[in-house]
Amino acid sequence: MFFASDNTSGVHPKILEALSQANDGFAPAYGADSYTSALQERLRDIFDAPDARIYPMTSGTGANAALLAAMTPPWGVIYCHKTAHIEMDERGAAGFYAGGAKLKALPSKDSRIDPNALRAEIMADANGNDIHAMPPAAVSLTNITEFGELYSPVQIAELANVSGLPLHFDGARFANAIAASKISPWEMTRELSTLSLGATKTGAMAAEAAVLFDPALVEAFESQRMRGGHNLSKARFVSAQILAWLENDLWLELATHANAMAARLAAGLVDLGGSLSYSVDGNMVFATLPRAMHARAKAKGAIYHLWGTDTALIGDPETPQMARFVASWSTTPAHVDALLAAFEP
């Protein structure tokens, strides 16, 4: 009953096998190998972006930080949602890489950036182009969001229009977003300057592709990636993972499955009397259940995160408490059903 994170899942067998196949004698280091070239061609094709530059990496945090640092001067503002991974979970990586740039974290009624709030903040910050203020530099979106919600292309275009700023996508669960939306990767990304395309959470071992749609960012990004320690020597083994992940749309198959497992879980939780805190668009479920039900499931070995401050589950057993449940490519219907059963008396 592992629902703590998609990070706790293992590696899909086809991706493991690709590592063996890539282990074919000597190959040039630092991305000059044929796997990395092939990956670049493959992703250019998928995104219909013939000038895009692709860099294999092993860390989503590293990819986000190096990309954002290429998109802002050290005195710029990067707008994101209050719940963004770059704001909450990367110990200040973006501000560190970008030499002191500011993340401005916007609240909203859900987990997506509100266009009106974004417009208002940017107008206030840009006011008069005053040397005392930090000027607007970029916007970072997460799709699906950290609370499992999807941005549509229309919503993305609106944020691009409203802001007038280059967009970065944290795509740690990009596959889940594409699987959920059933649109093409191109349609999802046509407004973007950069994308962190994460394969790790969806079946790879440690593999992210940093995608630069804007070639003007190459020198800054490559420099930040290098001095961040993210230009790996045996890069072929990262690229090979992503190639296998893309082959025959394995990535979408795995994401579609994970999304379905989350939907099954969400339906079951509602049946049990739980309420959903956010829409379940991808592979994550945020649901509120009485403390007593959490206590029961935890006692039976269910592993997931209680969200917020009431992790001790002390007091009135009927008080509701929100929790996060994440399904992965390796979550089975049986896993889901076992978890649902654990909530029952």
Q: Which residues between 131 and 190 bind a copy of itself (CB under 8 A)?
A: 131-134
| Residue matched to tokens 């009624």 | 109
| Residue matched to tokens 């501000």 | 95
- Applying CB under 8 A, does 127 fall inside the site for a copy of itself? yes
Q: Which of 41, 89, 247, 344 binds a copy of itself (CB under 8 A)?
A: 89
- Applying CB under 8 A, does 8 fall inside the site for a copy of itself? yes
Q: Which of 53, 201, 257, 264 binds a copy of itself (CB under 8 A)?
A: 201
Part in contact with a copy of itself (CB under 8 A); list of ranges 25-33, 43-51, 137-145, 317-325: 25-33
- Applying CB under 8 A, does 216 fall inside the site for a copy of itself? no
* Minimum distance, C-beta of residue 19 to a copy of itself, in the bound complex (Å): 6
CA-to-CA distance for 292 and 52, rounded, in angstroms? 51
Using CB under 8 A, which residues numbered 223 to 282 contact a copy of itself? 223, 226-234, 237-238
- Applying CB under 8 A, does 86 fall inside the site for a copy of itself? no
Tell me whether strands 208-212 and 194-198 are parallel, antiparallel or unpaired. antiparallel
Q: Using the minimum distance from each CB to a copy of itself, give the nearer residue, 25 or 345.
A: 25
C-alpha dihedral (171, 199, 218, 141), degrees to nearest 10 = 0
Q: Using the minimum distance from each CB to a copy of itself, give the nearer residue, 234 or 333.
A: 234
- Applying CB under 8 A, does 75 fall inside the site for a copy of itself? yes
Q: Which of 43, 80, 93, 211 binds a copy of itself (CB under 8 A)?
A: 93
Q: Using the minimum distance from each CB to a copy of itself, give the nearer residue, 275 or 311.
A: 311
Q: Using the minimum distance from each CB to a copy of itself, give the nearer residue, 24 or 247.
A: 24
Q: Using the minimum distance from each CB to a copy of itself, give the nearer residue, 45 or 214.
A: 214
* Minimum distance, C-beta of residue 8 to a copy of itself, in the bound complex (Å): 4
Q: Using the minimum distance from each CB to a copy of itself, give the nearer residue, 64 or 143.
A: 64
Binding mask 35-74 for a copy of itself (x = CB under 8 A): -----------------------xxxxxxxxx------xx
Residue 209 β-bridge partners: 56, 197
Tokens of 11: 């590696």
